[in-house]
């Protein structure tokens, strides 16, 4: 079995599009599996030409997009954004340096797919340079921050925005030494009951972002309530509370940059 969809390099998913920017009752998301091993990636492509690109990095050990598919399908349909979900780990526990190398390779695979693909009834091609957003959850959020800050060193296009959801920042998963460019729009979210990231991670990320321009920085604490327990796994839920707390802020960020 290779990837999330065994024996298939291409699949079509029917997804509900009833929230945020989505305007149709249902729409088709094209899901493409490219590469292999740590260099594998899944691409969630909208039906129409995309207006932005989101590279979304998973939490440690999530070697397929299974837990993320509802959210990322929503981004493709509702935000008209192509989503690249790199595997980047052969197994949990790889070094951050190895992860970043794999992400760079996978990104190149994804770009090749985009350049050769067409969209919509008119078979249009995607724009050559789509606004790129780096996003991630857990350990992936910290890697996304590194990608946004060190794109030149990593030979990646510059990200115009960052979505860091419940970032886990430790000595082994360190924050970058380089500061973000002042023009990067930042959305960072922390959960009041997230015991995996914990207060130490939140403190490190907040301190890193403290010098970023306030006009381009949004830091949110997601508070638990009757509809949502803001534990570490909360961003991967599909409840109304999860969509309001995680899906909608990302929708707004993507709207701002696309």
Q: What is the pLDDT of residues 142-174, one digit of tens each?
A: 999 999 999 998 889 999 999 999 999 988 888
* pLDDT tens-digit series, residues 62-73: 999 999 999 999
Return the percentage of the chain with pLDDT > 90, whole number: 67
Q: Over 50: is that where the pLDDT of 21 sits?
A: no
In angstroms, the Cα distances linking 197 to 109, 119, 194 are 31, 39, 6
Domain residue spans of the chain? 47-57+93-257
Question: Over the stretch 222-238, which tens digit does the pLDDT of each residue have?
Answer: 999 999 999 999 999 99
- What is the pLDDT at residue 12? 40
What tokens were used for 118? 């067409």
**pLDDT exceeds 80 at position 51:** yes
Domain 47-57+93-257, CATH: 3.40.50.1820
Contact call for residues 55 and 84 (beta carbons, < 8 A) = yes
Per DSSP, 225 falls in state: B
């Amino acid at each position: 079995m290779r990837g999330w969809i065994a024996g298939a390099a291409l699949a079509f998913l029917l997804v509900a599009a009833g929230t945020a920017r989505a305007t149709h009752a249902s729409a088709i998301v094209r899901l493409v599996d490219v590469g292999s091993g740590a260099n594998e990636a899944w691409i969630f492509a909208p039906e129409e030409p995309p207006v932005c690109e989101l590279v979304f990095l998973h939490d440690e050990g999530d070697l397929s997009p299974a837990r993320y598919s509802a959210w990322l399908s929503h981004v493709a349909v509702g935000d008209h954004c192509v989503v690249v979900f790199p595997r980047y780990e052969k197994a949990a526990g790889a070094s951050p340096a190895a992860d970043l190398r794999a992400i760079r390779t996978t990104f190149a695979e994804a770009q090749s797919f985009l350049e050769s693909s067409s969209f919509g009834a008119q078979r249009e091609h995607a724009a050559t340079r789509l606004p790129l957003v780096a996003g991630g959850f857990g350990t992936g959020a910290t890697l996304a921050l590194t990608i946004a800050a060190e794109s030149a060193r990593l030979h990646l296009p510059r990200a115009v925005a960052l979505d860091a959801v419940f970032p886990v920042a430790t000595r082994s998963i360190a924050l970058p030494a380089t500061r973000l460019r002042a023009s990067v729009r930042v959305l960072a979210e922390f959960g009041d009951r997230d015991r995996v990231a914990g207060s130490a991670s939140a403190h490190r990320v907040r301190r890193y972002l403290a010098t970023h321009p306030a006009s381009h920085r949004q830091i949110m604490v997601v508070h638990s309530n009757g509809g949502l327990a803001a534990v570490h796994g909360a961003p991967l839920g599909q409840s109304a509370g999860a969509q309001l707390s995680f899906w909608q802020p990302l929708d707004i960020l993507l709207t701002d940059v696309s």
